[in-house]
Homo-oligomer: A and B are copies of this chain.
Amino acid sequence: MSNENPKVLVLMGSKSDWDIMQHADQTLARFDIPHVCRALSAHRTPAQVIELVSKAEENGAEVIIAAAGGAAHLAGVVAAHTILPVLGVPMNSVLNGLDSLLSTVQMPGGIPVGTLAIGKAGAVNAALLAAAILARKDTDLQQKLRDFRKEQQDTVIENSVLP
C-alpha cells in the first residue's frame, strides 16, 4: 500500500531486499497505515536517501524503517538525518546476517536505531513496532493491535495440540 502522505517510510538498501521487506509492507497494510516503500542505497545514493528522509519528515511521516545487509549502514545514515524514530531490519547475508545485525544495532550513543530480528521476523516486527509507535496517538490503532495480539494468540492455541 502506498500513500501521498505516508506515516511510515520503508527504505531498503537494495531492490533484492523486497522479497523480505514485502512482509513489512503487508503488515503495515493490514493495519491500514499509509506508507511508502523505496529501495535506495546508503552507499550508492547517499544524497537521495538524505533527501527522501527529509521530505518524508516534512510530509508527516512519523516512523522510518530501514533494512540493509552486510555493512548495513542505511538505518544509521537515516537516523543521523532525522529525529523521527528509526527502526532497523538486518537482512540475511553471506555471514547469516550477523554482519548486518552488528552494523545496524551497535550505534554509538547519540543516534539511536531500534533494531529488529534478522530477516522476515524483523520485517514483520518493524511494521508492528511502527504501528505501536503510531498507536500512541491513535486509539483505533491501539485496538487493532490488541485485536491482532488476540487473533495471533487464538491461532497458536488452535494449533497447539500435537502430534
Contacts and interface: CB of A to CB of B under 8 A. Distances in A.
* Most central of A81, A118, A159 by chain B CB within 10 Å: A118
Interface residues of A, number: 89
Interface string A49-65: 01000000000001000
Contact of A39 (B45, B71, B149, B156): B156
Nearest to A1: B163
Interface of A: 12-15, 18, 21-23, 25, 37-46, 48, 50, 62, 69-73, 76-77, 79-81, 83-85, 87, 92-99, 101-121, 124-126, 128-129, 132-137, 142, 145-146, 149, 152-153, 156-157, 159-163
